[in-house]
Structure 1
Amino acid sequence: MGTVNMLAERSRGPRLRADASRNRERIVAAAREAFVEYGAEVTLDQIARRAGVGNATIYRHFADRSELNRQVTLEVINRIVELAESALDERPDAFEALRYFVHGAAAERIGALCPMSSDGWETIAAELEEKRDRLARAVEAIMDRGRGEGLLRPDVSSGDIMIAITQLTRPLPGMGCLHLERFFDRHLELFLDGLRAPARSVLPGAGATFADLQRPH
């Protein structure tokens, strides 16, 4: 009987681990959606209901709210980095690569998620450094290609792109989200048109860089 029980426990082990992994993924996905919909003050109860789990399940996976925020931020940044690198590798037309990246990054709603990532930033900063460097290299390579092909105006920089994506995906004050995502693609195309060469205006000041977007230590 002991051998049978041992075999049963072994057979359940991988399944239990798979179930726990799926629960963790559901929680992170639900948290991201809830942050976008309700803002940084969303409650764990709202996240748990959206994920279809209890609050205790959240605490089994995440020590506290800051840890959950951190994981959501890291996963979003991971997807944006992969998006930029795939745009660079798979889209030979430089402006199409930039369009692909801008629309994909906007779909992650990074503007809506910015306030959420401010809590516990110090613990996430080191993990983000390598990802930020990869993102900067990919976006700057896309833009260098666009300038070289005469498609991109020369007075914009990679930081300008990230600031615009963030601002265009941030909910309007006092209005909630109000399904503003239906306007994102329209306004992103207006923004992209402004990046095309030849430039039809003179931009004031200097372009933003990724270094400008880093928090002071």
Structure 2
Amino acid sequence: MRYSIKAFIKEKNETVSNVASKLQLSRPTFDTYIAAYESGLKITKGRYQKIFDSLFSDYYISSDVFKERLELYHELLKSEKKNEPIEYLSKRADRTSMLMNEIRDNIRYNGLDNDLYKFINLVITNYSEDIFYNLVQFFLILYGKKDMSHVTDFQTAYFSELYCALSEIDHNEITFNLKDWEKYKKISRDAYLREQLRYMEIEKENIMQKQEEIRRQIYENTITWI
């Protein structure tokens, strides 16, 4: 292996201890698996070989994708320990991998469009909300990815309004509405401020995690020298 897994984990704004905990492993066992994997040896437990392949084989995987996969395996391993059904989690992991492959192909051939991936993440994060769920359903049906046999009365009204608005854009018939525009601006500005505050909190948390990791390393090194 051409790079250190522990360095890779830190590069993704995670700690080695936290990753070990997420994977339901003690630090010594995790260190043993890392040493084996970096040496090109098979990990004794087959499931962890697959997990390591998914998490650590691609150095250029983004931090967001890495953390998403880590959370998926964390849930999967917790379910196995409780003897709960894990089929739905496996399917979820498979779908996530398929999506990541499509995104990588898109980047390779069409270049990186940050706005597109921000939107994808926005839809995934908020899919349970009616506005996002029905928007997704609208486009799936419109592009023939899903039949419309189970469309609800609400969706019939919503889809017709949305189609009308989009058709006006296509035919350059759209008109400016000052009142709606002012509402849109206010909601957007408030949302932007909330998002900036969220990023600041995340950055603060990352700094605290790094400081904690440094303190832990200093403590461990001190114990070693005593």
Would the TM-score normalized by the shorter structure come out above 0.5? Answer: no
What band does the TM-score fall into relative to the shorter chain? under 0.3
Structure-1-length-normalised TM-score:
0.24
Structure-2-length-normalised TM-score:
0.24
Higher relative contact order (CA 8 A, sep 6+): 1
Higher helix share: 2
